A and B are shown apart, each in its own frame.
Chain A
């Protein structure tokens, strides 16, 4: 049974942070939700719960970074990209300090709490910040690697995590590279570029499409910024159609990043977006929300068919 991404995150924080005296962890009274509490248990002297004060937490992290420590900021994704944004911008982006923003409960994964707690615009906001790198892990193994990568690499970073269980995609020990997407499947008719939960769903969609004679490639574009433009353009040209799939608004996130790169790379192929269509969702079970707002396998299948159709 796969573990929830938040558990994997909390455990990775302990695994890579415990013996590294530079790692400090901050949380804003949601440590039992984000699972940063696991770090608190083993390193209480390097854990700072600031209460419900996200802006202050984001600012404190900058101070920590400026004196050589590696701060991990933890709260719900939507509060990082809103309340935490001003200090993230002036200190993380402009001052280019080494702060690691870990957005818990990404997308609709805080399903029952409803749209006030869903994060559907965080990727758009955080990737617009100069110097920031932005990642969305698609499974346990990649989440674990991203925590290690956050500690080992310099510079401000936003990682969008999830509350939930994602299907396993990678073998433990898989090698990842910063800025390099992963090709998970090759097919000649279209390319699905996905991130987060949608990557696993895209693989399922690809199988379904194969049974009806449409062969698609699937790329896990966990690195939203920098985007792996080279890989994207190669597949856009070879397959002639691109569909993005993300648990996020179709405005500005993965869809935005991919569109920009396709246009700049002069790869004028039909594109389709799977994501929230400029709307807030509602509360409900996670599975119900994904179905209703067309963030599921059948939505990806339909979008690929529609996009492939445009090639003719």
Chain B
């Protein structure tokens, strides 16, 4: 089920647009998290535009797939993708982080159509995603047996012990409808993850817990789609994690790999530099 060349080009173009729009928005509002938003761009695009079954016309559809952005600070990219998908008007991006907005600083299930869970505190999302996955098997809304829950983790999430508690439980409860995607950019707020809290061999760790591990380039939409297909193809009682190699700040040369751009407001000079890099549009 590979992407056609045309479809691939379309998704790549979308990602390019999303990146630029998010930087525009963050420059305009002078707050928000550019680094992690840029790194998760292809992951969200592959999910919302290719693989996940969601319906903007019916955001609460009981049998929809769920997407939990555990790394909730990447909300700007989530909102941009949701808007493009049709959950709310793209112009609403301007209201991000403003008083009375539907687009809160971190995702909120009560405010934003299309958001499946309020997130923000790192390390809490995977547990909730697991509960969703198990609940979908049980609940009265359990219409489609193959509804999936996608949980997008960041480097900060795997610092928290709760994430590993969820890892253990997901295996015990055989949550093979839970698919975690690790937006693995190896940088967190205070520095490189290797310095802040070395992660060691992540694949070995997840596999030791009993997860099925896949890996791909997290900025290659085609590779992500293939990995998602594989993750969905062999439900064998094990939860799946896709280790998606990404670059923090991807797409803006001076932001790439820089923890300083985790949550910094974009100054005018930097903004102009970013725009110049993109051909001065």
B169 to chain A: which residues have CB within 8 Å?
48, 50-51, 53, 56, 60
A91 to B141: give the CA distance in the assembly, Å: 20
Contact of B132 among A21, A55, A58, A67 (CB under 8 A): A67
**Is B214 part of the binding interface, using a Cβ–Cβ cutoff of 8 Å?**
no
A50-B169, A55-B162 are known contacts. Are A67 and B141 too (CB-CB below 8 A)? yes
User: Least Cβ distance of A57 to chain B in Å?
Assistant: 8
Q: Are B127 and A68 in contact (CB under 8 A)?
A: no
A116 to B139: give the CA distance in the assembly, Å: 37
Contact of A95 among B118, B136, B166 (CB under 8 A): B118
A48-B173, A95-B110 are known contacts. Are A64 and B134 too (CB-CB below 8 A)? yes
A66 to chain B: which residues have CB within 8 Å?
66, 109, 116-117, 128, 131-132, 135
User: Least Cβ distance of A62 to chain B in Å?
Assistant: 5
A57 to B125: give the CA distance in the assembly, Å: 12
Q: Which residue of A lies closest to B133 (CB)?
A: A63
**Is A210 part of the binding interface, using a Cβ–Cβ cutoff of 8 Å?**
no
Interface size on A, residues (CB 8 A): 33
A276 to B280: give the CA distance in the assembly, Å: 67
A51 to B170: give the CA distance in the assembly, Å: 12
Q: Mark B156-175, 1 if CB is under 8 A from A, else 0.
A: 00000110011011001100
A56-B169, A60-B130, A63-B127 are known contacts. Are A68 and B135 too (CB-CB below 8 A)? yes
Q: Are B117 and A71 in contact (CB under 8 A)?
A: no
A60-B134, A68-B139, A69-B138 are known contacts. Are A51 and B124 too (CB-CB below 8 A)? no
A51 to chain B: which residues have CB within 8 Å?
165, 168-169, 172
A59-B127, A91-B124 are known contacts. Are A64 and B135 too (CB-CB below 8 A)? yes
Q: Are B127 and A56 in contact (CB under 8 A)?
A: yes
Q: Are B110 and A59 in contact (CB under 8 A)?
A: no
Interface size on B, residues (CB 8 A): 37
User: Least Cβ distance of A174 to chain B in Å?
Assistant: 31
A51 to B162: give the CA distance in the assembly, Å: 12
Contact of B162 among A59, A68, A96 (CB under 8 A): A59
Q: Which residue of B lies closest to A66 (CB)?
A: B132
A62 to chain B: which residues have CB within 8 Å?
117, 127-128, 131
**Is B62 part of the binding interface, using a Cβ–Cβ cutoff of 8 Å?**
yes
**Is B129 part of the binding interface, using a Cβ–Cβ cutoff of 8 Å?**
yes
B117 to chain A: which residues have CB within 8 Å?
62-63, 66, 91, 95
Q: Are A96 and B110 in contact (CB under 8 A)?
A: yes
User: For window 89-142 of chain B, which residues contact chain A by CB distance below 8 Å?
Assistant: 108-110, 116-121, 124-136, 138-141
A22-B139, A67-B141 are known contacts. Are A90 and B121 too (CB-CB below 8 A)? yes
User: Least Cβ distance of B116 to chain A in Å?
Assistant: 7
A45 to B134: give the CA distance in the assembly, Å: 11
A57 to B173: give the CA distance in the assembly, Å: 13
A-B contact pairs, 21 of them (CB 8 A): A48-B134, A51-B165, A53-B165, A55-B161, A55-B165, A56-B127, A56-B130, A56-B166, A57-B127, A58-B127, A63-B130, A63-B133, A63-B135, A64-B134, A65-B131, A65-B135, A66-B109, A66-B116, A87-B127, A90-B118, A90-B119
Enumerate chain A interface residues (CB-CB to B < 8 A). 21-22, 24, 45-46, 48, 50-51, 53, 55-69, 71, 86-87, 90-91, 94-97
Q: Which 9 pairs, one residue from A and one from B, show the smallest C-beta to C-beta distance?
A: A63-B131, A59-B127, A56-B165, A60-B131, A53-B165, A63-B132, A67-B135, A95-B118, A63-B128
A-B contact sample (14 more), CB < 8 A, given A50-B165, A63-B130: A24-B138, A51-B172, A55-B127, A55-B165, A57-B127, A59-B128, A63-B149, A64-B131, A64-B134, A66-B66, A66-B109, A66-B117, A86-B162, A87-B162
